[in-house]
Amino acid sequence: MVPAPPATPLAADAQVLLPVGGTLAAVLAVLLAVAVTVVACARLSDDGSRGRGRAVAAAGVRAAVQLLAVSLLIGWVVRSGWLLLAFLALMYAVAVRTAGRRVTPNATWWWAAVPIAAGVFPVVAALLLTGLVPADGIALVPVTGILIGGALTATVLGGRRALDELAVRRGEVEAGMALGLPDRDARLEVARPAASDALLPGLDQTRTVGLVTLPGAFVGMLLGGASPLLAGVVQLFVLVALLAVQAVAVAAVLELVARGRLHRDAPDGARERRDQGP
């Protein structure tokens, strides 16, 4: 019988990183309590209330429950093609609802499905067709999850910034319409600079990688025993793919806002002008 190869030092480090136990649970509880306390005391919410502290606490507890469930189910899900597709569809559906409801509370939130799909599906299809990512759950689930998460963030930031800017500068939009600009073009001129700010987090992360931060994919591969060069290549792939996904998502959500598909409830007069169109 051939003996198993000895574990590399990095792989051994991965086995003792954040050992699961009472200490880890206590540290997590303290960190979450700190986050909740700071958010509540500093009133870090849109209306200046302490309500977002409860949201932070709920998010932490929800993350723990969801990660536990995924950890228990992922090994079973990846053995079946249908279950894998259902799991990916669930990831997409949750991302759409989360992004849509974060952008607007009205019934147009479901339009968030368009920018997320437009950004993620072509990239995932290209990766599968070229063979860079094998069509099995172990590789497909995390890669797709990273891309969906990036599209979600870009959609939320781009959509919220665009709609906020249109609300603040409504007079400029109406002035543009009065000068003969179509509704779409008038909204686009005002919303485009604000929505483009949604690209800044991804740009800054990519520009400073290796100098300011070492992202999760790089660190995870190192701790798993991969060579630093391979870890760097994989991390570069993730960052560039995210740039592409986020760029498409921001462009799509900006177009939806400019066309009035994705909007917030407006005063009656503004709503009537919007419904009349150009």
Q: Does 205 share its domain with 106?
A: yes
pLDDT band at 83 (very low <50, low <70, confident <90, very high): confident
Q: Does 146 share its domain with 67?
A: no
Q: How far is CA 76 from CA 27, 139, 144, in A?
A: 30, 14, 18
In a domain, 167, yes or no: yes
Domain extent at residue 51: 19-77
Rounded CA separation 102/168 (Å):
18
In a domain, 5, yes or no: no
Provide mean pLDDT across the span 187-191. Answer: 90
In a domain, 157, yes or no: yes
In a domain, 7, yes or no: no
Q: Does 102 share its domain with 57?
A: no
Q: Does 263 share its domain with 141?
A: yes
Cα dihedral 191/204/206/134 (nearest 10): -50
Rounded CA separation 269/275 (Å):
10
pTM of the model: 0.78
Q: Does 252 share its domain with 165?
A: yes
| pLDDT higher than threshold 60 for residue 241 | yes
Q: Does 247 share its domain with 190?
A: yes
Mean pLDDT for all residues in the chain:
82
Q: How far is CA 205 from CA 17, 175, 228, 235, in A?
A: 24, 38, 19, 11
How many domains does the chain fold into? 2
Rounded CA separation 20/83 (Å):
29
Q: Does 26 share its domain with 150?
A: no
Q: Does 49 share its domain with 123?
A: no
Encode pLDDT of 93-135 as tens digits: 999 999 999 999 999 999 999 999 999 999 999 988 888 887 7
Q: Does 118 share its domain with 239?
A: yes
Encode pLDDT of 200-230 as tens digits: 988 888 888 877 777 666 766 666 666 778 7
Q: Does 272 share its domain with 149?
A: yes
In a domain, 136, yes or no: yes
Could you tell me if 100 and 147 are in contact, meaning their C-beta atoms sit under 8 angstroms apart? no
At residue 18, the pLDDT reads 61
Query: Residue 19 corresponds to which amino acid?
Result: P
In 176-187, which positions are buried (b, 16+ CB within 10 angstroms) versus exposed (e)? bbeeebebeebb
Q: Does 90 share its domain with 220?
A: yes
Q: Does 170 share its domain with 58?
A: no
For residues 237 and 257, which has the higher predicted lDDT (pLDDT)?
257
